[in-house]
Amino acid sequence: MKPAPFTLHRPRTLAAALELLAELGPDAKVLAGGQSLVPVLNMRLAAPAHLVDITALPDLDRVESSGAGVTVGALATHRAVEHDAGAHEHQPLLRQALTHVAHPAIRNRGTVVGSLAHADPNGEMPMILALTEGHVRAVSSRGEREIPAAELFVGPLETCLEPDEILVSATFGAARAGARTGFDELARRSGDYALAGVGMVLATDGDGAAETITGLSAGFVSVTDLPERLVLDEHVAGTPTAEAREVAEAVAAAVREHIDPIDDIHATADYRRHLAGVIARRTFTRLARTNDRPRI
């Protein structure tokens, strides 16, 4: 199918883009990589009268990393972030999850920030923002605001953004010293949206045989309506990493009990609950066994 007719605007400055959005109101949509919006237009699930293409705006493709977090500009593609050594060093979950986002061709054009604005519960990036307790920066002609992940996502495919706002960047929290991170997902075919995915952060203290688990948090993809950070400390804290297997089933049971999975044509809620428990148990035991940092 082809999209309904629209007027394409391609401003060259952020100020001009914001002015356009303020003037056009809810009849306009921001266009970034187009990897979600264009299919939506082609299927006529949306028919905005105006598209404001932000790809000509300067300085929005930066990726900046430090101990405070990884800040990704609105035009940084999935692939740019996946291959950014600083981003990987400071928050390995980004690369670990991004290799599961669609196919390289889509990652070459789609943006991380666009994924957040799209707010798809099947998308990896909203969950990683929530799990790392990150935030986004939104600007409009009325001003600027910082929105924590916990407030950004208000429903499936729905954020708290106003129609005149542009997300200029997202900041993912940095991994803490001693934390191990892992990501896993189950999909019918490589590159498909997940049936269930998990991101995990395992905190430890001490070395060798004396190493102990101090905390565990997890987030899920394609399982819950809203991305969230599930804290599982009470099931694991104080357990020596060498004995992690003994509490792994408690972790899986806590996950199954806590989540309220979505039911759709791809999988039933019960099946997703089962899968979420399986990948949570597997990822936890793998992280306890090894520092799951892929090589740069």
Interface ranges with ligand FAD (CB under 6 A): 29-37, 39, 54, 74, 101-102, 106, 110-111, 113-115, 117-118, 123-125, 166-167, 193
CB of 141: closest distance to ligand FAD in angstroms?
14
Residue 9 token pair: 């605007």
- Which of 96/115 has CB closer to ligand FAD? 115
Q: How many residues does the chain have?
A: 296
- Which of 34/240 has CB closer to ligand FAD? 34
Which residue shows structure tokens 């519960």? 121
Which residue shows structure tokens 């993809």? 221
Decide: helix, strand or coil at residue 133: coil
Decide: helix, strand or coil at residue 260: coil
Q: Are 113 and 126 in contact (CB under 8 A)?
A: no
Query: How many Cβ atoms sit within 10 Å of the Cβ of residue 261?
Result: 22
Contacts of 190 (CB under 8 A, 6+ apart): none
CB of 169: closest distance to ligand FAD in angstroms?
9
Residue type at position 163:
P
- Which of 42/291 has CB closer to ligand FAD? 42
CB of 36: closest distance to ligand FAD in angstroms?
4
CB of 163: closest distance to ligand FAD in angstroms?
9
Which residue shows structure tokens 């790809």? 55
Residue number with the shortest CB distance to ligand FAD?
Answer: 110
Q: How far apart are CA 194 and CA 188, in angstroms?
A: 8
- Which of 52/280 has CB closer to ligand FAD? 52
CB of 40: closest distance to ligand FAD in angstroms?
7
- Which of 150/187 has CB closer to ligand FAD? 187
Interior angle at CA 33, CA 42 and CA 184, nearest 5: 100
**Beta bridge mates, 205:** 212
CB of 254: closest distance to ligand FAD in angstroms?
26
Q: What sign does the CA torsion over 263, 123, 195, 280 have?
A: negative
- Which of 39/86 has CB closer to ligand FAD? 39
CB of 190: closest distance to ligand FAD in angstroms?
10
- Which of 106/231 has CB closer to ligand FAD? 106
Q: How far apart are CA 223 and CA 274, in angstroms?
A: 10
